[in-house]
Amino acid sequence: MTTPTTFQGVFPAITTPFNADGSVDHGFLREHARWMMDSGNAGMIPLGSLGEGNTLDFHEKTAILETLVDALGDAPVIPGIASLSTHGAVQLAQAARDLGCRGLMVLPPYVYTSDWREMKAHVSAVIAATELPVILYNNPVAYRTDFLAPQVAELAAEHANLRGVKESSGDSRRVTALRAALPESVDILVGLDDMALEGVAAGATGWVAGLVNAYPAESVKLFELARAGDWAAARELYTWFLPLLRLDTVNKFVQLIKFVQEEVGHGSARVRAPRLELTAEEQAMVRDLLRAAQA
């Protein structure tokens, strides 16, 4: 089994599609992942925040990974690894390896958060559970654990398979701090859609994207323009895209992005409780944004 040596490019945080009865729609999942890969994405990240991973049970998660590994062939599937317990996260990481995933995105534990000593022990156990290359996911707003650049550097010095950081604090200065603290072998990935250009300008080499689920070609083009240093063209595309990209950074980002998918004909707005589908007023707001974009 080969593994990616870098985490560079656009990696969709793929949404989890549901059937009308609430079960996972594996047929659409397969089709959707292939459609996004055809637009030039670098790999697929299921089971994350956008993938509603915390509403899926263990067997649903492994079934999703089986579907994606089979659907994508040589393209890397890099699942989000999160659990209420360290044991549960280790178990999921090892199952992902055994199913053929080629990397992991490791999150802090759900619900419980604490000091650096405990959070380091948790993520270290998960990173060390397999030989797969790992992206550490830093999202202090959502998970109330903040991995600072010196702490990430400490982890990288102790774990050779820590090869990326998804930075979702919303502060572009974090990207420059991470780039200064980490070896070049550790890639930095932007984790918020409306910071894509700023992140690349600060040194990010990857983007874990959300609106890519509805606009894969545009997302890849934006990232490629930025990496190539074509800032005029990148800013023009970014200006057009930003009203939609900002949907990724609010509390109902899952519902909003899934609704955009449905509106553009590439998915369903169905979500799992406790999330509910958007109200009529919220739907109208999104349709206004889409009309403006299409104009």
- Secondary structure letter of residue 188 according to DSSP: E
Task: Judge whether 284 lies within some domain.
Answer: no
Q: Is the residue at 288 inside a domain? A: no
Is 289 within a domain? no
How long is the chain? 295
What CATH number did the domain enclosing 189 receive? 3.20.20.70
Residue 168 lies in a domain: yes
123 appears as a binding residue in the annotation: no
Number of domains comprising the chain: 1
108 is a domain residue: yes
Pseudo-torsion of CA 7, 141, 153, 185, nearest 10°? Answer: 10
Cβ burial of 257 (10 Å; 0-12, 13-18, 19+) is buried
Q: Which domain range does residue 16 map to?
A: 9-228
- The answer to whether position 207 is within a domain reads yes
Predicted TM-score (pTM) of this structure: 0.96
The torsion angles phi and psi of 44, rounded to 5 degrees, stand at: -130, 135
Answer yes or no: is 217 within a domain: yes
Rg of the chain in Å (alpha carbons): 18
**Does a structural domain hold residue 26?**
yes
Local confidence pLDDT in tens for the 295 residues of the chain: 345 668 999 999 999 999 999 999 999 999 999 999 999 999 999 999 999 999 999 999 999 999 999 999 999 999 999 999 999 999 999 999 999 999 999 999 988 889 999 999 999 999 999 999 999 999 988 888 999 999 999 999 999 999 999 999 999 999 999 999 999 999 999 999 999 999 999 999 999 999 999 999 999 999 999 999 999 999 999 999 999 999 999 999 999 999 999 999 999 999 999 999 999 999 999 999 999 999 8
| Residues with catalytic roles | 137, 166
What the block records as the tokens of 178 is 């991470």
